[in-house]
Structure 1
Amino acid sequence: MRSDHPPLTTDPVGASLTGAHAGYALRRGRISRYDPEVSVFYAHPAELTEDDWADLAELAGTGATVGLRGRRTPLPDGWTVLRTFELVMYSGAGLVTRPDDEAVVLGPDDVDDMLDLVAAAQPGPFARRTVELGRYLGFRDDDGRLIAMAGERMRPPGWGEISAVATAPHARGKGLAQRLIRAVGAHIVQRGDLPFLHTSADNPARALYERLGFELVDEVDLEIVQVP
């Protein structure tokens, strides 16, 4: 990584929504979120005031679920923690990237197939318009079925998040995910940025990411809470 390259922020959602993805941002006070048709993520200060909680509730809506990253203030009355897990962030500055001529570019016409693959592989949140956030690549089998995909989601300055790394259960063990990670990374590097990614701390895929050269840079609690 060049000495003048922007460091990887610990608030990639906020940095994306004030930068490359500002056009997808919905804001109220100090709270921002992606358009819900595009992504589920919110940006918020670690220490939330009474006004922040009110703005968050207004943006999310009654009964909605919200992911809070590294919260340091108590939940107000009526809010409920549904789940907490450890989220880890990896820098891919050491990833050896490589284009892949056999990978196909995926776009809006492929979304139904992408959603079916996400349902089968469970890589994490993926909405109908997530494909708009960056370049998505995939592999199809001889019958035209989408069997693997990966793409780009958040875009903090100088970085691109590799996301939605998904392989159909029957197609695993063939190195498809590794090829797609390298290929998506190649596109990110080509424009002068560096790749990074998120995953849960208990994801077995961490071993693959580390073999590919990703380095752990942050660990944080992510809470899924319900708005009263």
Structure 2
Amino acid sequence: MTAHLDNPIWSALTSDCKPLGNGTQVAKCFLPDVAPFGAVQEDTFENFQALYDLCAAEQVVVLFSPKDQLDPAPWTMINQVPGIQMVFEGAIVPSALENRTVPLREKDVPQMLALTSLTQPGPFLPRTIEFGGYYGIFEGEMLVAMGGERLQGDLSTEISAVCTHPDHAGRGFANAILTRVIENIKQKGRLPYLHVRADNTNAIALYLKMGFVQRSVMNFYILKR
């Protein structure tokens, strides 16, 4: 039922997120100002060459793979970041702060870019908001916490960009954002899941407490053309 999550970027680009990317029958990538992600149908030299041909000189592309060894030639591998893929199997527990979460719109993009630049939850670009489903918490006019939906395909939706300004950490904002996004995904009959760096122990602890379970290892490969 969740085999498509072994190649989640491919799953998204061949279904719900297809309008946000381009590619061929064997290689696809998101538009550069939406997300830096690319994928191949299978890990072959021919498919990596097809992905290479889709991209501009010096372009950086991020691939997700459960494999701990990958040969992406002709790409140059810049880094391999160990991660974990988790799926939500718990019960939704309402957050007392959930009423503070508000939908984020185009006008909020500058603050979203600033917050994600500060906290580094993962790639967030000027058009990433077009994935939809982003919520935030404000203190006055300042965005201090956010999170939303990213990869969507085969009745699964990835939760992404969950972050809190360091000056406002420890107040339950991440829990409130996660709860709101999980509810929205479940209401659409979809499976919530997410990716997290293996060394981000604080986030993993929160996700486990909220009802996520580890599905698999998921390595993040950063490649350069």
2:48 aligned residue: 53
1:28 maps to 2:20 = no
Q: CA deviation at 1:29?
A: 4.3
Among residues 215, 219, 223, which one is paired with 2:213 in the alignment?
A: 215
Within 1, Cα distance between the matches of 2:70 and 2:164? Answer: 38
Q: Is the 8 A contact 1:37 1:128 kept in 2?
A: yes
> Which whole-Å deviations, capped at 9, do the CAs of 1:137-180 have from their partners, x for residues lacking one?
101002x1000001000112222111100100100010100110
Instruction: Give the secondary structure class of the aligned counterpart of 1:68.
Output: strand
Within 2, Cα distance between the matches of 1:159 and 1:188? Answer: 8
Farther off after superposition, 154-163 or 64-73 = 64-73
Q: CA RMSD in A?
A: 1.8
> 1:59 is aligned with what amino acid?
L
> Which whole-Å deviations, capped at 9, do the CAs of 1:111-141 have from their partners, x for residues lacking one?
0010011111111101111111121110100
Among residues 84, 103, 106, which one is paired with 2:104 in the alignment?
A: 106
Q: 1:107 to 1:46 in 2, by over 3 A?
A: same
1:10-29 equivalent positions in 2, closer than 5 A: 10-29=6-25
Q: CA deviation at 1:76?
A: 3.3
Q: CA deviation at 1:200?
A: 0.9
1:3 aligned residue: none
Q: 1:14 to 1:75 in 2, by over 3 A?
A: closer
Paired residues, number: 219
TM-score, with normalisation over the residues of structure 1? Answer: 0.89
> 2:51 is aligned with what amino acid?
L
Q: CA deviation at 1:184?
A: 0.7
> 2:31 is aligned with what amino acid?
D
2:192 aligned residue: 195
2:147 aligned residue: 150
Q: Is the 8 A contact 1:97 1:186 kept in 2?
A: no
Within 2, Cα distance between the matches of 1:80 and 1:128? Answer: 26
Query: Which is richer in helix?
Result: 2
1:94 maps to 2:90 = yes
Q: Is the 8 A contact 1:115 1:126 kept in 2?
A: yes
Q: 1:41 to 1:81 in 2, by over 3 A?
A: same
Q: Is the 8 A contact 1:98 1:185 kept in 2?
A: no
Farther off after superposition, 160-169 or 80-89 = 80-89
Farther off after superposition, 207-216 or 55-64 = 55-64
Farther off after superposition, 57-66 or 181-190 = 57-66
